[in-house]
């Protein structure tokens, strides 16, 4: 598809009125982002953080209170949804119940004044892409959830929009189908090279699908980056806590030596990658993922095991480092020593896996 | 926080859709011109007279004045106001003024300023300038006819309101709580609640006269009563209760269904008797609902024109009094307008109380569906009296309806009960076919327009955001509270001399078009209501996705919205047809001899005492209405999509719930 375009939001804000207190509040506050053509970007965040609102502003259903939205360099603030080159896939699928599968998919094409043959060809092609061939004449209520989702996707794709917008498209499906469908969506998006903005609050979905993840919190962008960056270098405690499991450990920087620094934790000193923002002598907080904390009979930090639990793929520990609780997932536990609750043990960290906030 | 940008953007988006802007503009104009404007005209009429009289006291005697004016060739009219003589002159040149009495809007109100006795002769001069005064209100409140009509109307409303509510409650209670031999009872309930919908407004009055009047089949033939009098309060009240209780029944049934049986069972468990449960649990829960039912009926009763007209006898209500003022000899426009305003304020006030206060209270006390079905009451001490009462009431209603076709077939009601078609022949001879044709065509034209308009209004109100939306919703629903008679008078005042008496649109008056417009206005609220509730069921994302795929609002409406609320549209079509073809209150004031309407003809014949022909008309009318409803039901059964839509929606919700449960379980 030749017409892929990027999306740019420039300090976009949206104010809503609280229905109860009548007080205005920012549903989206001063968001700026730049989505490259062909990229798959996910908006991720807890419920009510403004993901849907952002998406609906891009689609044109809501008008921003301030800021500009650009589609492929063109300002589209004043365009109505039907004039915007975007197509949305809704959480509830929003299929037209009075049309069959074919007519649902053909709806957008008919509005574009194409010949019957052309419409037929395009619809068939897209149905093949979403693997729904042979179901053209079914009514939508005769389809399973996954099939309905495919039709909804086909209906959005067939009009060849510059940008595809997804609002939690998989949340009505069961867990297994979600995994299948998300790989499907990614496959189709990559086949067509179309720009996609995807809203979800399922982090594994975001991780597996995206080129870029945007973490939102209370209407603002908390962090923007690749899945790896978000996971290993979270910008703050909220992001670290929101994505995956995180241990927070307090420490004090003793010395900075080039790329490395000496950090004092619970009275012990260890070498870590240098922090960016903190000067020597200041205290700071570190994030360590449970699988990046290693437990053994020797290490740098002494601790006491308070919980020990075999989980199959890994062994799960709670340990106390002074008065900080640390969770550890010890993968491939077969060949390793198993600690019991009450045991003394030693901790150290996987290289490059501890991030100083 | 800045909001100007959003407002600006929304405005630009709004104006980029000329179709919608145009439609909204047309709607606003329509509502203003045909609902608000006539009512506003009534309001001004009641306080403003376009010309006025100045009244003076002069020292000359009447004879002197007459002689003087005869010399100059000027006209002198002698009026008698309150047993005092007043000379109406063209001017007062040459007369000696002794006192200026003041100005008055019309000769009717002149008495008010003639209270003081002064020497000399009273003369009145007509001015061209208008007079703004509240004279008309104290005047009508002093008017005995009006005061009696007012108390009559309120009294009748009370009786009918309470009666219909009680009968409705009885039926609803039996339907929801009592174990009955269900098939027969169910059928009977259905029939009883359908009959008043299909029947023209005055059919029950007609059969009341036939069965219980002087020559009544029941009163004279069966009971041998020769001086039975159905005309008056008791007659109207019975007829109105029978007409309006099915509405109460349906309303209360909806409420009773929503009461959670466990509340009553808890009370039973603690040892309360059935009666105790009813009075301490069920009734308090129902109270706002009962109030609601009462008010709805009260408004209907107060606005009713046809029944009091036919069977009221000397029991005049506001609606009939206004009608008589307008059509009768004493053409007191200002008085009639003021009365219409009184009636209008009453219904509108109660309507607003009902709609915005009671309705929300009703739903607030009874939220959520009953968790499981209720164990029906089986004790014979309860079921027997209740079902008997219901059966008697139903039998009575059915008897009343059966009387009509027989009335049209008997040779001479009261004397000769042999069958003949002579009334039908007479009907055809007396231009009956033209009446059917006119009524049919006018209603037929009004139906699709109303159905479409109401669906458009519902769509705009539910799915769109724009300036003036509140206005459109409020006015189109408010029209429900305007009594037909008031609307009729408003149309006369508003259009007889053109809009604002300028002659603009004057051609409209007296045509079929204005009748069609009245039909539309009368049915619009019903259609809009049903459209709104149908559309609220449809998830906004369905229309949004069409919009998003590139459809403009017109296309979204025709290709998605309308097909999804097809049922509501079609029922709006039929409802309008039925309401129009059976309408009388507003129409009777506006119809001209060019058009013969079934309802006005029935009224004429019944007034004349030609009950046979009236019954023949009514029978055919009921048949037409009933077939229209049959067609509607058939259509909905075979072509309706709404059920499918509702299922699809339920499906989605169900799946979502399941999915989220599954996630929680993980
Ligand atoms: N039409 C509206 N009027 C008033 N407030 C609204 C409206 N729509 C959304 N909001 C509020 O704006 C905030 C952001 O809503 P939004 O729908 O964007 O959240 P979300 O991130 O999509 O959440 P979820 O994950 O639950 O879908 C919420 O607090 C919500 O209550
Ligand atoms: Mg959302």
The tens digit of pLDDT for each residue in A98-131 reads: 899 999 999 999 998 889 999 999 999 999 888 8
Torsion angle, CA of A8/A11/A17/A22, rounded to 10 degrees?
180
DSSP string covering B267-336, please? HHHTT--HHHHIIIIIHHHHHHHHHHHHHHHHHHHHH--HHHHHH-TT---HHHHHHHHHHSSS--HHHH
Give the residue with greater pLDDT, A225 vs A282: A225
CA of A25, nearest ligand number: 1
Which residue matches tokens 């169900």? B654
Number of residues that make up chain B = 666
Q: Which two tokens stand for residue B120?
A: 């000399």
* Confidence band for A26, pLDDT divided at 50, 70 and 90: very high
What are the C-alpha distances in Å from B227 to residues B212, B214, B234, B412?
A: 10, 6, 15, 19
**Which chain B residue's Cα is nearest to A67?**
B5
Contact B58, B118 (CB under 8 A): no
- For residue B152, give the H/E element and its range: helix B144-177
Phi, psi (degrees; rounded to nearest 5) at A13: -130, 150
Q: How far is the CA of A222 from the centre of ligand 2 (A)?
A: 17
Cα B319 to Cα B338: distance, rounded to the nearest angstrom: 12
Q: What sign has the CA pseudo-torsion A45, A50, A53, A55?
A: negative
Using a CB-CB cut-off of 8 Å, the residues of chain B touching A86 are 548
Which residue matches tokens 């270098």? A233
Cα B482 to Cα B463: distance, rounded to the nearest angstrom: 27
Query: Which of A24, A77, A175 shows the shortest C-beta gap to B662?
Result: A175
User: Are the Cβ atoms of A64 and B659 closer than 8 angstroms?
Assistant: no
Phi, psi (degrees; rounded to nearest 5) at B115: -60, -45
Q: How far is the CA of B6 from the centre of ligand 2 (A)?
A: 21
What is the pTM for the complete model shown?
Answer: 0.84
Half-sphere exposure (CA, 13 Å, Cβ side) for B358?
A: 19
Instruction: Write the residue with the smallest CA distance to atom 29 of ligand 1.
Output: A48
Residue A17 alpha carbon, nearest atom of ligand 1: 4
At the topology level, CATH places domain B140-407 in MetI-like fold (1.10.3720)
Q: Do domains B140-407 and B429-660 have the same CATH topology?
A: yes
C-beta atoms surrounding B135 within 10 Å: 23
Contact A216, A51 (CB under 8 A): yes
Half-sphere exposure (CA, 13 Å, Cβ side) for B126?
A: 12
Model pLDDT, residue B658 = 57
Residue A28 alpha carbon, nearest atom of ligand 1: 14
**Which of A67, A69, A65, A77 lies closest to A16 in space, CA to CA?**
A65
Give, as one character, the DSSP assignment of residue B130.
-
Instruction: Write the residue with the smallest CA distance to atom 26 of ligand 1.
Output: A47
Longest dimension (CA), chain A: 77
Average pLDDT, chain A: 88
User: Are the Cβ atoms of B659 and A172 closer than 8 angstroms?
Assistant: yes
- Residue B179 CA, chain-centre distance (Å), reads 36
Cα A127 to Cα A157: distance, rounded to the nearest angstrom: 10
DSSP string covering A198-264, please? EEES-HHHHHHH-SEEEEEETTEEEEEE-HHHHHHS-SSHHHHHHSS--EEEEEEEEEEETTEEEEE
Model pLDDT, residue B647 = 58
The end-to-end CA distance of chain B, in Å, is: 43
**Cross-strand bridge partners of residue A252:** A264, A283
Using a CB-CB cut-off of 8 Å, the residues of chain B touching A15 are 1, 3, 6
- Indicate the top mutation candidate among A15, A17, A49 to test ligand 1's pocket, ranked by most ligand atoms within 8 A of CB: A49
Coil, strand or helix at B227: coil
Cα B222 to Cα B216: distance, rounded to the nearest angstrom: 9
Q: Which two tokens stand for residue B59?
A: 């020292």
Put the strands of the sheet holding A195-200 in their side by side order. A86-89, A163-167, A195-200, A40-44, A212-217, A220-225
Residues within 6 Å of ligand 1 by CB: A 16-17, 19, 27, 45, 47-53, 201
Using a CB-CB cut-off of 8 Å, the residues of chain A touching B545 are 88, 90, 94, 152, 155
Query: Which of A83, A98, A139 shows the shortest C-beta gap to B563?
Result: A98
Using a CB-CB cut-off of 8 Å, the residues of chain B touching A98 are 563-564, 641, 644-645
Torsion angle, CA of B547/B550/B555/B559, rounded to 10 degrees?
-70
Task: Tell whether ipTM is more than 0.90.
Answer: no
User: Are the Cβ atoms of B645 and A81 closer than 8 angstroms?
Assistant: no
User: Are the Cβ atoms of B644 and A66 closer than 8 angstroms?
Assistant: no
Half-sphere exposure (CA, 13 Å, Cβ side) for A251?
A: 30
Query: Which of B550, B552, B662 shows the shortest C-beta gap to A174?
Result: B662
Q: Which two tokens stand for residue A124?
A: 């068939």
- For residue A317, give the H/E element and its range: strand A314-321
What homologous superfamily does CATH list for A7-241?
P-loop containing nucleotide triphosphate hydrolases (3.40.50.300)
Model pLDDT, residue A119 = 94
Cα B187 to Cα B195: distance, rounded to the nearest angstrom: 12
Model pLDDT, residue B34 = 92
Contact B259, B366 (CB under 8 A): yes
**Shortest CA gap B287–chain A (Å):** 28
Model pLDDT, residue B330 = 60
What are the C-alpha distances in Å from B43 to residues A168, A285, B334, B429, B650?
A: 55, 75, 10, 43, 49
Coil, strand or helix at B177: helix
Coil, strand or helix at B181: coil
Residue A14 alpha carbon, nearest atom of ligand 1: 12
Model pLDDT, residue B665 = 47
- Residue A12 CA, chain-centre distance (Å), reads 20
Contact A91, A167 (CB under 8 A): yes
Model pLDDT, residue B371 = 59
Model pLDDT, residue B444 = 92
Model pLDDT, residue B643 = 55
Cα B652 to Cα A169: distance, rounded to the nearest angstrom: 12
pLDDT digits (tens, 9 = 90+) for A256-266: 887 788 888 88
What does the domain layout of chain A look like in residue ranges?
7-241, 245-356
For chain A, give percent helix, strand, coil, nearest 5. 25, 35, 35
Say yes or no to pLDDT of A185 above 70.
yes
User: Are the Cβ atoms of A90 and B564 closer than 8 angstroms?
Assistant: no
Cα B567 to Cα B537: distance, rounded to the nearest angstrom: 13
What are the C-alpha distances in Å from B454 to residues B21, B32, B459?
A: 17, 15, 8
What does the domain layout of chain B look like in residue ranges?
51-133, 140-407, 429-660
Q: How far is the CA of B20 from the centre of ligand 1 (A)?
A: 27
- Indicate the top mutation candidate among A15, A16, A55, A61 to test ligand 1's pocket, ranked by most ligand atoms within 8 A of CB: A16
Model pLDDT, residue B3 = 59
Query: Which of A82, A96, A173 shows the shortest C-beta gap to B560?
Result: A96
Phi, psi (degrees; rounded to nearest 5) at A224: -135, 130
Residue A53 alpha carbon, nearest atom of ligand 1: 18
Residues 6+ apart with CB under 8 A from A41: A33, A35, A196, A197, A198, A210, A211, A212, A213, A214
What architecture is the B429-660 domain classified under in CATH? Orthogonal Bundle (1.10)
Cα B215 to Cα A325: distance, rounded to the nearest angstrom: 98
Cα B592 to Cα A249: distance, rounded to the nearest angstrom: 92
Which residue matches tokens 């049922």? B567
Cα A86 to Cα A194: distance, rounded to the nearest angstrom: 11
Residue of A15, A26, A63 to mutate when probing chain B, most B C-beta within 10 A: A63
Residue of B6, B12, B545 to mutate when probing chain A, most A C-beta within 10 A: B545
Half-sphere exposure (CA, 13 Å, Cβ side) for B604?
A: 13
**Which chain B residue's Cα is nearest to A155?**
B549
User: Are the Cβ atoms of A66 and B2 closer than 8 angstroms?
Assistant: yes
CA of A51, nearest ligand number: 1
Instruction: Write the residue with the smallest CA distance to atom 31 of ligand 1.
Output: A48
Residues A332-336, mean pLDDT to the nearest whole number: 81
Using a CB-CB cut-off of 8 Å, the residues of chain B touching A26 are 1
pLDDT beneath 50, residues of chain B: 1, 663-666
**Shortest CA gap B627–chain A (Å):** 28
Q: How far is the CA of A28 from the centre of ligand 2 (A)?
A: 12
**Shortest CA gap B649–chain A (Å):** 9
At the topology level, CATH places domain A245-356 in OB fold (Dihydrolipoamide Acetyltransferase, E2P) (2.40.50)
Cα B104 to Cα B428: distance, rounded to the nearest angstrom: 51
Coil, strand or helix at A95: coil
């Amino acid at each position: 598809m030749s017409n892929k375009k990027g999306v740019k939001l420039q300090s976009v804000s949206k104010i809503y009125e609280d229905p109860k207190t009548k007080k205005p509040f920012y549903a989206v506050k001063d968001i700026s982002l730049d989505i490259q053509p062909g990229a798959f970007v996910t908006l991720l965040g807890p419920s009510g953080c403004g993901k849907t609102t952002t998406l609906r502003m891009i689609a044109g259903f809501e008008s921003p209170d301030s800021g500009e939205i650009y589609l492929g360099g063109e300002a589209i603030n004043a365009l109505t949804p039907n004039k915007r080159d975007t197509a949305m896939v809704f959480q509830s699928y929003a299929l037209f119940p009075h049309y069959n599968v074919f007519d649902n998919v053909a709806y957008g094409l008919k509005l574009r004044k194409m010949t019957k043959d052309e419409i037929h060809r395009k619809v068939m092609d897209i149905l093949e892409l979403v693997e729904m061939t042979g179901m053209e004449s079914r009514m939508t209520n005769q389809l399973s959830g996954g099939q309905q989702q495919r039709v909804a996707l086909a209906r959005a794709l067939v009009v060849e929009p510059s940008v595809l917008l997804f609002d939690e498209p998989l949340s009505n499906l069961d867990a297994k189908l979600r995994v299948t469908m998300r790989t499907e969506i990614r496959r189709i998006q990559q086949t067509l090279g179309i720009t996609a903005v995807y809203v979800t609050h399922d982090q594994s979905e975001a991780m597996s699908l995206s080129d870029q993840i945007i973490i939102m919190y209370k209407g603002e962008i908390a962090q923007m980056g690749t899945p790896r960056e978000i996971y290993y270098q979270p910008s703050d405690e909220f992001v670290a806590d929101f994505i995956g499991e995180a241990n927070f450990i307090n420490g004090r920087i003793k010395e900075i030596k080039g790329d490395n620094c000496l950090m004092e934790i619970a009275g012990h000193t260890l070498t870590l990658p240098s922090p960016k923002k903190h000067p020597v002598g200041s205290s700071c907080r570190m994030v360590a993922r449970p699988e990046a904390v290693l437990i053994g009979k020797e290490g740098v930090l002494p601790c006491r095991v308070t919980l020990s639990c075999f989980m199959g793929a890994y062994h799960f520990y709670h340990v106390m480092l002074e008065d900080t609780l640390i969770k550890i997932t010890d993968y491939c536990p077969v060949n390793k020593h198993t600690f019991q609750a009450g045991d003394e043990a030693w901790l150290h960290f996987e290289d490059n896996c501890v991030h100083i906030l | 926080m800045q909001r100007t940008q959003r407002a600006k953007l929304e405005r630009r988006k709004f104006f980029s859709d000329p179709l919608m802007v145009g439609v909204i503009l047309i709607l606003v104009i329509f509502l203003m011109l045909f609902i608000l404007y006539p009512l506003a005209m009534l309001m001004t009429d009641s306080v403003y007279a376009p010309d006025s009289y100045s009244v003076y006291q002069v020292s000359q005697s009447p004879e002197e004045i007459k002689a003087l004016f005869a010399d100059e060739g000027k006209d002198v009219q002698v009026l008698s106001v309150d047993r005092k003589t007043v000379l109406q002159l063209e001017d007062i040149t040459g007369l000696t003024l002794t006192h200026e009495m003041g100005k008055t809007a019309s000769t009717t109100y002149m008495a008010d300023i003639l209270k003081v006795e002064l020497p000399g002769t009273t003369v009145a001069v007509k001015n061209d300038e208008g007079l703004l005064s509240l004279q008309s209100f104290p005047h009508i409140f002093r008017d005995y006819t009006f005061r009696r009509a007012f108390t009559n109307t309120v009294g009748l409303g009370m009786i009918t309101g309470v009666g219909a509510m009680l009968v409705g409650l009885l039926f609803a209670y039996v339907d929801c709580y009592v174990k009955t031999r269900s098939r027969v009872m169910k059928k009977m309930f259905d029939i009883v609640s359908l009959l008043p919908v299909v029947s023209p407004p005055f059919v029950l009055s007609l059969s009341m006269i036939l069965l219980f009047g002087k020559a009544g089949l029941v009163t004279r033939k069966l009971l041998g009563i020769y001086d039975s009098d159905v005309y008056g309060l008791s007659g109207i009240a019975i007829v109105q209760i029978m007409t309006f209780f099915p509405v109460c029944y349906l309303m209360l049934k909806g409420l009773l269904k929503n009461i959670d049986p466990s509340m009553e069972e808890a009370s039973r468990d603690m040892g309360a008797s059935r009666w105790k449960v009813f009075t301490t649990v069920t009734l308090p829960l129902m109270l706002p609902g009962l109030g609601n039912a009462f008010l709805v009926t009260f408004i209907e009763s107060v606005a009713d024109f046809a029944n009091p007209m036919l069977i009221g006898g000397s029991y005049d209500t506001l609606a009939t009094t206004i009608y008589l003022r307008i059509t009768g000899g004493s053409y007191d426009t200002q008085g009639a307008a003021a009365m219409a305003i009184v009636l209008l304020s009453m219904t509108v006030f109660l309507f607003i109380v009902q709609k915005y206060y009671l309705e929300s209270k009703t739903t607030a006390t009874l939220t959520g569906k009953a968790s499981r079905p209720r164990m029906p009451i089986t004790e014979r001490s309860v079921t027997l009296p209740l079902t008997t009462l219901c059966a008697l009431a139903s039998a009575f209603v059915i008897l009343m309806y059966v009387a009509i076709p027989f009335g049209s077939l008997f040779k001479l009601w009261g004397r000769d009960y042999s069958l003949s078609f002579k009334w039908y022949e007479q009907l055809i001879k007396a231009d009956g076919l033209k009446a059917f044709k006119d009524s049919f065509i006018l209603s037929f034209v009004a139906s699709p327009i109303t159905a479409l308009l109401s669906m458009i209004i519902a769509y705009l109100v539910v799915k769109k955001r724009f300036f003036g939306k509140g206005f459109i919703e409020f006015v189109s629903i408010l029209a429900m509270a305007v009594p037909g008679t008031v609307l009729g008078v408003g149309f006369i005042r508003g259009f007889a001399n053109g809009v604002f008496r300028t002659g603009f649109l004057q051609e409209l008056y007296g045509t079929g078009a204005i009748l069609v417009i009245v039909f539309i206005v009368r049915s619009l609220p019903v259609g809009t209501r049903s459209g709104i509730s149908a559309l609220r069921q449809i998830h906004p994302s369905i229309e949004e996705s069409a919009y998003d795929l590139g459809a403009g609002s017109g296309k979204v409406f025709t290709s998605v919205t309308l097909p999804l609320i097809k049922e509501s549209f079609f029922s709006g079509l039929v409802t309008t047809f039925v309401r129009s073809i059976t309408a009388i209150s507003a129409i009777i004031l506006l119809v001209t001899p060019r058009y013969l309407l079934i309802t006005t003809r029935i009224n004429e014949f019944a007034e004349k005492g030609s009950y046979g022909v009236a019954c023949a008309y009514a029978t055919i009318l009921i048949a037409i209405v009933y077939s229209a409803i049959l067609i509607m039901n058939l259509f909905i059964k075979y072509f309706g999509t709404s059920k499918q839509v509702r299922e699809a929606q339920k499906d989605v919700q169900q799946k979502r719930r399941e999915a989220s449960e599954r996630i929680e379980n993980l």
